[in-house]
């Protein structure tokens, strides 16, 4: 067997471990997930995991770096069109919400990182996604824009639409259908213009 085949088999096994761990951790939470459960789902012996990872936290770090929601949300936001800032913000908010709806495990992963790790991996994730942030922020540059630090603007922008999705899950059953139809419009309006009348 060639060295190239060995590497590709090793990479396939590593990916199988990441996929299995992702499924187990999303279902049970990080602390409740066991290495035995991960190995069983990956179809390997528990000892085989340690040929690729130091332990469960090392596996989780690999999951977060590959599958954190920011890794999908930012490219989607960059690809969205809009001839003006209002249209762009609305289209981006809708695209982000659609992606989160289609992948509910994104939010689970986000909360596991926040609750069980206190955001420990966010600095590394941020370094990885930072090159995508600047072109996104350039979309908001205009003579009318307030002077908000760029990284704060990114937090507010992404946070607004993650909040939209979370409140959609929480309140949509209790909300009147017409209120839910107009929800994205209100989120975009508050993001762009605030709450108070000028």
Per the model's pLDDT, the better-predicted residue between 59 and 124 turns out to be: 59
Distance CA 178, CA 42 (A): 45
3-state SS assignment for residue 116: helix
CA distance 136 to 139: 6
Percentages (nearest 5) of helix, strand, coil residues in the chain: 75, 0, 25
What's the CA gap between 164 and 66, in Å, rounded?
24
Mean pLDDT of 101-130: 89
Q: Helices 69-79 & 85-102, crossing angle to 10 degrees?
A: 140
Q: Which residues contact 119 (CB under 8 A, 6 or more apart)?
A: 113
Side-chain-facing half-sphere of 155: CA atoms under 13 Å: 7
Do residues 26 and 39 make contact, with C-beta atoms less than 8 angstroms apart?
Answer: no
pTM of structure: 0.80
The CB-side HSE value for 136 (13 A sphere, CA atoms) comes to 26
Over residues 91-101, the pLDDT tens digits come to 988 998 889 88
Highest mean pLDDT among 41-45, 65-69, 74-78, 132-136: 41-45
Q: Which residue, chain included where needed, has tokens 């990080």? A: 30
Reported confidence tier of residue 28, pLDDT bands at 50, 70, 90: very high
pLDDT exceeds 70 at position 3: no
pLDDT of residue 1: 47
Q: Are 132 and 73 in contact (CB under 8 A)?
A: no
């Amino acid at each position: 067997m060639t060295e190239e085949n060995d590497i590709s088999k090793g990479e396939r096994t590593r990916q199988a471990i990441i996929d299995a761990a992702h499924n187990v951790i999303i279902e049970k939470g990080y602390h409740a997930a066991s290495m035995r459960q991960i190995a069983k789902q990956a179809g390997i012996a528990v000892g085989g995991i340690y040929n690729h990872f130091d332990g469960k936290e090392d596996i989780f770090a690999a999951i977060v770096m590959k599958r954190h929601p920011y890794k999908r949300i930012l490219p989607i936001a960059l690809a969205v069109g809009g001839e003006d800032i209002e249209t762009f913000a609305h289209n981006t908010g809708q695209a982000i919400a659609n992606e989160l709806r289609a992948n509910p495990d994104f939010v689970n992963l986000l909360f596991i990182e926040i609750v069980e790790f206190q955001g420990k991996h966010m600095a590394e994730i941020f370094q990885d996604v930072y090159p995508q942030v600047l072109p996104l922020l350039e979309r908001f540059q205009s003579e009318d824009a307030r002077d908000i630090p760029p990284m704060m603007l990114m937090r507010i922008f992404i946070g607004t639409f993650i909040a939209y999705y979370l409140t959609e899950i929480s309140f949509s059953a209790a909300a009147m259908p017409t209120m839910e139809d107009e929800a994205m419009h209100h989120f975009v309006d508050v993001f762009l213009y605030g709450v108070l009348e000028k």
